[in-house]
Amino acid sequence: MRTTISTKGQLVLPAELRRLDGIEAGQEFEVERLDRGEYRLVRLEAPRNTGLSDWLAACPDEGWLVPVESESTDEL
């Protein structure tokens, strides 16, 4: 597959690769220079539980997730 570097220096991963690997906007990668003109791109792992609150809030059972009121630590 081919891609092009933009005028801003951005590299676009083809949609097919993003779809195959579940790559979404905002995910971080590490780029390593192996040799002149050769690079390795490695997706960094997202922190554990990233997106967990969104997943829980999307539960189809109405009212099971109830926000808990808490005091700010600024007031303590």
Distance CA 7, CA 58 (A): 39
Q: Of the segments 33-37, 43-47, 57-61, 66-70, which one has the largest average pLDDT value?
A: 33-37
End-to-end CA distance of the chain: 57
- What are the domain boundaries of the chain? 1-61
Q: What is the pTM of this model?
A: 0.53
Q: What is the pLDDT of residue 76?
A: 58
